[in-house]
A = this chain, B = another copy of it.
Amino acid sequence: MGLSDLFEPDGIAVVGASKTPGKLGNDAMTNIQSYEGQIYPVNPSSSGSVFGYEFVDSVSKTNADLALCCVPGPALPDVLEECGEAGIGAAVIFAGGFSEVDEDGAQLENTITEIANKYEITLLGPNTAGYIIPHLDFYGSFVPRINEIETGNVGIVAQSGGVGVTAAFQLQREGYGVSAMFGLGNRANTGFAEIIPMLDDDPRTDVIALHIEGTDDVDNVLEVCQNTETPIVAFKVGEEEVGDFVQSHTGAPDQGNERYETAFSTQGLSTATSVTELIDAGRSLADSPTPNGPNVGLVTAQAGPGIMITDYLKQAGAEFPKLTAQTQEKVDEILAGITYKENPVDTGRPMPEFGDVVDAVARDENIDIVLVYEIYEDSLGYPVDELETLAQEVDKPVLFTVAGPNEALADERMQMEEVGIPTFDTPERGANAVAALIDSVTETE
């Protein structure tokens, strides 16, 4: 199959390309322009050019190895035959109207899958928003402005293109990006089991974030996950009865979550229950060393949010071990008169020595993961220097939860990110990010 043509095509045929703004074939042309490979707008009814690319009337007139198919379902058998004859190795099918709709649609999906298999064409879709690989300036999608999403180290594989797009835009909005985002759609011959290993081999992907509605090849998918070295976080949708809606969406079987959850927890995979949790867990796993255990050291400058975080983390299986006598002595010295200075350590307010407290807790041998919460104060700032030293000298996850006046703290937040301290901006997001790390160590215990 042409999986490599999906990941790094030399030439791209946009079948059904259009000059008319708002049309799928025009939106797809808009997004794919930035790619450095050859671009061929294919449309027998069009002449002239679109965005400077000359129309051709057939894929046979191109040197493409990837086709972005912007045509309706009924046209696809012919288009795919033509693609196969032209030696194209991968095709993206945006159109819906297949197995997710009715028996006729399922029949049509079978037909195009057989054609694709005959020519060994890797089919992404049908019924997908497509995929993007920002570091290649590759945006194979009709979604307007998706080409504004930048490069990051989170690889998203979403059964729903809409969810993949939603997650990628949220990362972008919050200042991050993706290494790749794949919307799988109906998974005619390419699904989780094919894409995950490719991302596992991609040096730019430091975590794989999955959105799963349900798959027929669940054993296979779970086995692939087990054999993946890159950390994985998975969001399996469907606590309640949403089976008919799911079936109508990506033609997925209606599957409860238990089978996945049991397998994931046994395999030490992290799980999420929302898009926000998925991307936060992704960032946390991508940017942190693997922790040795579930022992959290929490340092907070404000008790109330610290109590919330403690509560969330206990629900997530965190342990809050006692600090060693040596650490406790250091902390006691700094926090003379403060009320709650055992782990969790509450400094009462931000203070000049706040970074020293974080440092002492992070170096404690009883602690596997450090989480910090502090409302920003201009006159003190955040302990960026101490955190930079820690990130260099201590091989443990250290995460920072910011709060307060956002503009004031933005610079120091970015500095912390740059030295490898993932930051989060609400108590629950910081806690969820740590929960993902705790999930990831279950297997090694």
Binding site for B on A (CB under 8 A): 21-22, 96-97, 100-101, 143-145, 148, 158-166, 169-170, 172-173, 211, 213, 237-242, 245-246, 248-250, 274-276, 302-308, 310-311, 314-315, 337, 339-340, 344, 346, 348, 375-380, 403-406, 408, 425-428
Contacts and interface: CB of A to CB of B under 8 A. Distances in A.
A164 B305 CA distance: 9
A167 to B, nearest CB: 9
Contact of A303 (B160, B211, B406): B160
B242 A339 contact: no
A144 B307 contact: no
A214 to B, nearest CB: 10
B426 A276 contact: yes
Contacts of A311: 237-240, 242
A219 to B, nearest CB: 23
A22 B379 contact: yes
B97 A303 contact: no
A245 B310 contact: yes
A434 to B, nearest CB: 14
27 contacts: A143-B404, A144-B377, A162-B302, A162-B303, A162-B305, A165-B375, A165-B404, A169-B406, A170-B425, A173-B425, A213-B307, A237-B304, A237-B308, A237-B311, A239-B315, A240-B310, A240-B315, A242-B310, A245-B340, A245-B346, A246-B307, A248-B303, A248-B340, A249-B307, A274-B308, A274-B426, A274-B427
A31 to B, nearest CB: 12
A36 to B, nearest CB: 23
A344 B245 CA distance: 8
A303 B250 CA distance: 9
A41 to B, nearest CB: 19
Instruction: Indicate the member of A164, A211, A339 with the most B CB atoms within 10 Å.
Output: A339
Contacts of A337: 97
